[in-house]
Amino acid sequence: MTTEAIRVYNRPPRHIPRRVVIFAVLIVLAAVFAMPLLWMVSASLKPENEVLKSPPTFIPSTAQWANYSQAGHGLLPFFLNSCKLAALNVGFLLVFASMAGYGFARLNFAFKNLAFALLLSTAMIPSMVYLVPQYMLFREMGWIDTHYPLWVPNVLTPVFGTFLLRQAFRGVPIELEEAAKLDGASIFGTFWRIMLPQVKPALAAVGALTFMGSWNDLFGPLIFLNSTRLQTMPIALALFKGEFFTQTNLMMAAATLTILPPLLLFLVAQKYFVQGITMSGLKG
Amino acid sequence: MTNAVLPTVSPPADVDRPKPKRRTKVKPKRQNLAGWLFVGPVILGVLFFQLAPVAASLVVSLTNWSGLNKPTFLGLDNYKELFTADDTFWPSLKNTVIFTLAVVVLTIGIGLALAVLCNQKVKGIGIFRTLYYSPAVTNVVAIGFVWFWLYDPDNGLFNSTLKTIGIHGPAWLSDAKTALIAVIIVAIWQGVGYPMVILLAGLQSIDQSLLEAATVDGASAWRRFWSVVVPLLTPSLFFLTITQFITSFQVFGIIYVMTSGGPNNATSVFIFHIYEAAFGHGRLGYASAMGWVLFVIVGVVTAVQWRLEKRWVHYDN
């Protein structure tokens, strides 16, 4: 960029410095986006009589941390169910998606293109279309009111994960693989020991997005589970509304606890999320 | 069924590309076996859990199956009933279309504005990006409750705030006139992060020399944006119109949590209607018919979008 171009490009609009304008807009928008979540946290820390006070106050008079222990105590079994399902979904999906991704990226076999087209085409099918037969299938298999429908079908149909990992495997230098072959490594050995470590960032991206999908799933638990003890956190929250909590402050504490795990994961693994989301927008 | 990120709908563009010839001693038969061992579980999974049920659902849609009775073949009666005798179908379709149009246009529009803003080189921009995206990782039940309470006609934050400046706020979710708008606002708040991230990546991949050239030619910032930046973003925008359409048209969670389709069907959407038919009334045949109507609508609209692609999407950068 020439000096002239830089000068023209950065010319401030009239007299207000450009940076000040940008900052002001950024902060106003941040307030708008954060407001519902901040309000949730604020209410979760209020004593009961303060939640519905008019005019509303933002800062609780005294922070009621006991709200959290009360809400958390009720949520604990559902938290464990959600953790179990998230672990199964992430773990097995990564295995199957990375195997398929590697197969499509680096192995040659009959009907490969057809198989890949078939896989991608399913991304367009609304899940509502196959919901009813799927439900009947699970009923035949005795899977209704078990955790199986909430992870087995997911991990065996990882369209997005396969696509993303295929892209990642294609980026690994072919020489690495050929060297391993020369050393006499089997195809599986090459995949497991040489190739898989090369695509760790893509694995993290797929894992993070899978965790979100599993944790935030509403439809699956709603349809396939009947027993309360098997339910996941989001559904438990919905049940709490009717059964346990008539108090808004406790509801908000429970809502905060439900949102916390994915939010923390997002903050920690933000880089991988952005990578995964961005790659979903790439052209195959 | 996840609401995190839709898989790509791009066609396998490079599938037909000739593969580099590799000298390998592995026999074709062994290669076939190895390849299919690697992709087999996923292909079988897709066939067993998705494609076979899709085909089965077409058959079920021609019957009066409830899951318990012996199904009777009805021909197209379910479809006929849906189009002519179901008083919830047309309103729910209308609501779905309004919801989808509003969410697709506004999430992409606001997402683009946020992406441009987040592409500025100012201090702490990462914090703002994180904040704008964070609603996208929350689950609908939790945020549904929060917004439900914010919208409360008497004690909610919105109306309490309006009251302090002397305005009597609307009843939001409990008024048929405002309920759908209220739900759309929540969907946009939660849904804008995904287009923002995609468009931000698009912005960051733009070759800066093009912008410099335009600047040297005397193009204003406004002109540069519309004549250089936006055309270069059209592939991302196209991708987003397709994916956002498919997800928004299948909205369920937020409706289920916040309004259950009410008041008076004002927010009843298509998927909610299917859900009620299948699991509320046990009409599996009828629900399958609706599922297929949904499939056809989504398929046709997506096909039309692909046909229109040439008219506005530029790939020549």
Write the CA distances from A67 to A64, A113, A262, A264, B90, integer angstroms.
Answer: 6, 56, 21, 20, 45
Give pLDDT, residue A127: 86
Assess B52–A contact: CB distance below 8 Å, yes or no: yes
CB contact A113 to B (< 8 Å): yes
Helix (H) or strand (E) holding A45: none
| Residue B147, pLDDT score | 93
Contact A54 B150 (CB under 8 A): no
Q: What is the DSSP string of B17-83?
A: SPPPP----S-HHHHHHHHHHHHHHHHHHHIIIIIHHHHHHHHHTTB---SSSPP-B-TTHHHHHHH
Report percent pLDDT > 90 for chain B: 51
pLDDT tens-digit series, residues B121-159:
888 888 898 899 999 999 999 999 899 889 988 888 888
Element (H, E) at A50: helix A48-51
Q: Judge whether B146 and B153 are in contact, CB under 8 Å.
A: no
**Residues 198-217 of chain B whose Cβ lies under 8 A from any Cβ of chain A:** 198, 201-202, 208, 211-212, 215-216
- List the beta bridge partners of residue B63: B73
* Cβ atoms of residues A171 and A130 within 8 Å: no
Contact (CB, 8 A) for B262 and B179: yes
Q: d(Cα A247, Cα A65) in Å, to the nearest integer? A: 15
State ipTM: 0.85
Backbone angles phi, psi at B73, to 5 degrees: -75, 130
**Does B32 contact chain A (CB < 8 Å)?**
yes
- B70, burial (CB in 10 Å: exposed 0-12, middle 13-18, buried 19+): exposed
pLDDT along chain A (284 residues), means of 10: 52 69 91 92 87 76 86 90 97 97 93 92 86 91 96 95 91 88 88 91 91 93 92 89 73 92 89 79 52
In this prediction, residues B229-237 reach a mean pLDDT of 91
Asked if residue B163 lies in contact with residue B169, where contact means CB atoms within 8 angstroms, the answer is yes
Higher-pLDDT residue of B24 and A15 is: A15
Interface test with A, best of B10, B30, B42 (most A CBs within 10 A): B42
The amino acid at B156:
G
A268 contacts chain B (CB < 8 A)? no
Q: How many residues does chain A have?
A: 284
Average pLDDT for residues B254-276, to the nearest whole number?
A: 90
- pTM of the complete model: 0.86
- What is the 3-class SS of B258-287, one letter each residue? HCCCCCCCCCCCHHHHHHHHHHHCCCHHHH
Contact B141 A9 (CB under 8 A): no
Judge whether B264 is closer than 8 Å to chain A, CB to CB: no
Query: What confidence category does residue B101 fall into, taking pLDDT thresholds of 50, 70 and 90?
Result: very high
Q: Mutation target for B interface from A22, A131, A148: give the one with most B CBs within 10 A.
A: A131
